[in-house]
């Protein structure tokens, strides 16, 4: 089964913390990197991360995962791996819980 495609990650914060979207991705040498969106945001807000703009060296076909940075808490990486496509959909997620006990819910493509 092929990996779902992604051009952007969108995250809604439904948790009791401040967070930011990060992406774990591979470059054309197969080396894994982490990029951050640099747009921390509180509960009841959402942000979108454009992977092409924020992930240096990402290329069509590279793998990408959503990671959520939690201020003063436990970061969380969503297990599903996506395939980067600059013309692909925005993949939407929601995070909820507390700083040390949070969970990510996949909402699907936009």
Q: Tell me the β-bridge partners of 105.
A: 94
> Does the pLDDT of residue 12 top 80, yes or no?
yes
pLDDT bucket at 2, cuts 50 / 70 / 90? confident
Give pLDDT, residue 3. Answer: 93
> Does the pLDDT of residue 1 top 80, yes or no?
no
> Does the pLDDT of residue 62 top 80, yes or no?
yes
Give pLDDT, residue 28. Answer: 87
Distance (Å, rounded) from C-alpha 9 to C-alpha 24? Answer: 11
Q: How far is CA 96 from CA 20, 23, 42, 79, 107, in A?
A: 13, 18, 11, 16, 13
Contact 55, 80 (CB under 8 A): no
Mean pLDDT, to the nearest integer, of 24-28? Answer: 93
Give pLDDT, residue 53. Answer: 98
Q: Which residues make Cβ contacts (< 8 Å) with residue 8, sequence separation at least 6?
A: 48, 49, 50, 51, 90, 91
Q: Which residue has the higher pLDDT, 40 or 110?
A: 40
């Amino acid at each position: 089964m092929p990996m779902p495609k992604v051009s952007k990650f969108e995250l809604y914060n439904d948790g009791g913390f401040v967070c930011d979207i990060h992406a774990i991705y591979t470059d054309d040498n197969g080396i894994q990197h982490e990029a951050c969106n640099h747009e921390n945001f509180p509960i009841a807000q959402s942000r979108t991360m454009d992977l092409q703009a924020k992930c240096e060296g990402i290329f069509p076909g590279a793998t990408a995962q959503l990671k959520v940075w939690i201020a003063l808490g436990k970061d969380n990486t969503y297990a599903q791996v996506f395939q980067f496509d600059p013309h692909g959909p925005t993949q939407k997620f929601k995070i909820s819980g507390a700083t040390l006990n949070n969970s990510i819910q996949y909402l699907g493509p936009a």
